[in-house]
Chain A
């Protein structure tokens, strides 16, 4: 593993680190995605809401405008009705009545006496009174018609008193006199008490009625005495086709004026225009809609604004409906209705900015609010994203630190574990569990398992050391035992250098360290040589122990001079008396009479000996067999004799020779053995044994030696040879 700044690349720590990193990146990506979608949604919501609200505002303002216009028009209509029906119609009726009455007077002037009429009197000021007014240059006394028209005094007075709207009722004669009824006598009297003259025949009501030849309404005129705005309704009186008088009534216009003025509000008002296109009533204090006396007022029909001119022209003729006019760069909604009685028109004017203003204002406000909200939202979003970035960085750092710390915590015990294991492998102390491994996770389990394994391994090692030591000791002992066993048997050759009568040679090769075979030869006396060949059942140490006992017993009993059969019987009985292991030994025991070459022998279950008589071949001697020694108590053995002639040889062996087995489990057999013996049957015993051994080895080859291999060969040379060697 590569190590960069203490972090093992590919190690658990870096894996955990990577895992956390991936997790964080995924988290941030998911979070950012959600944020972006969320922000987009929010923007859409804001935009949709904004559009909806704008639409709503427009609808509401349109409705508002419509309501405003409708209300203005309603008021115009109401005003028209008021003026036409209640006011002007009454006045008109009154004036027509007076005209008719006056014409009646002139038509029947002979029937009426002159009616007295007096000058205005201060005493009458404040009460309705009939008074005489005349032109400065006219003397009422010269008048022919004054007394006549004065007959109308009573009716005029009654008319005046009956109406709230009449400021004055009067009749002017063609000769410059006038009978007047009102309650303001004082204003017609000069300071010196003389009545004030009036240029009667030049007053607008007189001239206009005379000119028109029928009932007329004057424009709005200021009262000659009080400057109050008023309207005069006048009608000419003719007698015989000649103008004789003009009857007239002044109408107070304060109620109309008050009403019109009351309509004034910001950009929305009602005004009245007369038949000449002049504004006669208006709350406007400036501009084209301002009311002025007829001498100063312009004709709106000739306005520079074509839309205004067309509108007014139409309004004096018919109801216009809603029109849009522009005057002096300002745009108005306007609606006009004619007043046929007087030939005027009522105009409703609404400043377009008034209707549009709320919309624009509200839209502006709304945009402002929206902008504010948006900027607030953006500020908030910005702050939020800053906070998020900050938190993400903190989270990132914390996660990395956490990953490193956790990774370290996981990895450290593992590293320590590895270090400890390595040091242990180098021959350090045993691994033991300690607190640094108690992580509560798999590492603890691993450490525990490893501690357990270590402990057990140590035990095994200790055991193996002990066993090895034991084995070594046993091996040493066995090697010693092998030597002892070998040394126990006669093994120094020539064995009897001072006995030329015979030559003897024997070998024992145990299959294991110690064997159960044995041979023995010993001089019982000067003339008798004991020969023993034996094979203990089994191999190894038990067989070796049993063999040692058997050998000593055979030799001991033999040395007593007993016959071979007796020796074997004694040995058998001795062994059977205490043979719990039920081991047994086959024994061939013979005694060679050195002088005669006669062998007396007994066979306790042992192999047939092979004998070669002088210059002959080795052959098996099928002797009589008894049962093995140690098998059964009380066995009797049979003896037999063999006669050796000088040059004869006797070969004794254990079953290890014929039963030597090759790799194919084929046994060497007695035939091969005899063949080997007969390779050089006259050779010295040592050579003969070597020949057999060579043959066995050649046969067995690489197969393991299975049984003890023991051989003995004695050559009888005869008494005659005594002293020749």
Chain B
């Protein structure tokens, strides 16, 4: 289960994720982002309460990263150790801006 809590402040979109970002829930986040990314120059993905991310979730992050590379910047915050390990294993730590 994934809970997506998004806040728009001008051109800054903050998306806080809670739960598991996996094959089942990844399409939800993908749809949310697709809807809200227009005109956003800064995307902040808060992973403070995210428990797990699967390859499907990584794919959504990659897509978002690619879009944001064109129209601004994307940062990933409050990454837990478990998630960080996944990022490192998959090499995502190299392409994501992790704060």
Chain A residues near B (Cβ < 8 Å)? 516, 535-539, 582-584, 586, 604-608, 625-628, 631-632, 635, 655, 659, 665, 667, 706-707
Contact = CB atoms under 8 A, between A and B. Distances in A.
Contacts of A659: 52, 54
A635 B62 CA distance: 14
Contacts of A628: 58, 62, 90-92
B59 to A, nearest CB: 4
A604 B94 CA distance: 12
Contacts of A635: 91
Contacts of A537: 55-56, 58-59
B55 A536 contact: yes
A625 B59 contact: no
B94 A627 contact: yes
Contacts of A583: 59
Interface in B55-73: 55-56, 58-59, 62-63, 66
A322 B22 CA distance: 140
A586 B59 contact: no
Chain B contact residues: over half helix, strand or loop, or mixed? helix
Given A628-B92, A665-B51, 14 more contacts: A516-B55, A536-B55, A537-B55, A537-B56, A538-B23, A538-B59, A582-B66, A584-B58, A584-B59, A625-B90, A655-B55, A665-B20, A706-B22, A707-B23
A472 B90 CA distance: 37
Nearest to B56: A538
B66 A535 contact: no
B99 interface: no
Most buried by B among A627, A635, A667: A627
16 contacts: A516-B55, A538-B56, A539-B56, A582-B59, A582-B62, A584-B55, A604-B91, A605-B92, A606-B89, A608-B89, A625-B89, A625-B90, A631-B62, A655-B55, A667-B52, A706-B23
A659 B88 CA distance: 16
B95 A631 contact: yes
B95 to A, nearest CB: 6
Contacts of B59: 537-538, 582-584
A627 B59 CA distance: 12
Chain A contact residues: over half helix, strand or loop, or mixed? loop
Q: Which 5 A-B pairs have the closest CB atoms?
A: A627-B91, A605-B90, A537-B55, A605-B91, A537-B59
Contacts of A536: 55
Contacts, number: 68
A398 B90 CA distance: 93
A655 B91 contact: no
Interface of B: 20, 22-23, 51-52, 54-56, 58-59, 62-63, 66, 88-92, 94-95
B52 A539 contact: no
Most buried by A among B66, B90, B92, B95: B90
Contact of A586 (B52, B55, B94): B55
A586 B91 CA distance: 9
Contacts of B95: 627, 631-632
A43 B91 CA distance: 119
Nearest to A512: B23
Nearest to B19: A665
A46 B32 CA distance: 100
B48 to A, nearest CB: 18
A604 B95 CA distance: 13
A625 B55 contact: no
A655 B22 CA distance: 12
Nearest to A536: B55
A536 B20 CA distance: 19
Contacts of A606: 89-90
A608 B56 CA distance: 19
Contacts of A516: 55
Most buried by A among B22, B55, B59, B66: B55
Nearest to A707: B54
B38 to A, nearest CB: 18
B97 to A, nearest CB: 14
Nearest to B55: A537
A655 B23 CA distance: 13
A668 to B, nearest CB: 12
A413 to B, nearest CB: 52
Contacts of A582: 59, 62-63, 66
Contacts of B62: 582, 584, 628, 631-632
Nearest to B63: A582
Contacts of A655: 54-55
Given A538-B23, A584-B59, A632-B95, A627 B90 contact: yes
Contacts of B22: 706
Contact of A539 (B20, B23, B66, B94): B23
A208 B65 CA distance: 182
Contact of A605 (B56, B63, B89): B89
B86 to A, nearest CB: 8
Contacts of B91: 604-605, 625-628, 631, 635
A665 B88 CA distance: 23
B14 to A, nearest CB: 23
B58 A627 contact: no
A664 B51 CA distance: 13
A443 to B, nearest CB: 50
Nearest to A605: B90
Contact of B89 (A539, A607, A631, A707): A607
B67 to A, nearest CB: 10
A535 B54 CA distance: 11
A627 B92 contact: yes
Contacts of B51: 665
A66 B23 CA distance: 132
Contacts of B94: 626-627
B16 to A, nearest CB: 20
Contacts of B89: 586, 605-608, 625
B52 A535 contact: no
Contacts of B63: 582
Contacts of B23: 538-539, 706-707
B54 A586 contact: no
Contacts of A607: 89
Contacts of B54: 655, 659, 707
Nearest to B23: A539
A536 B54 CA distance: 11
Contacts of A626: 91, 94
A606 B91 CA distance: 8
Nearest to A606: B89
A582 B23 CA distance: 15
A610 B94 CA distance: 23
A146 to B, nearest CB: 182
Nearest to A604: B91
A96 to B, nearest CB: 164
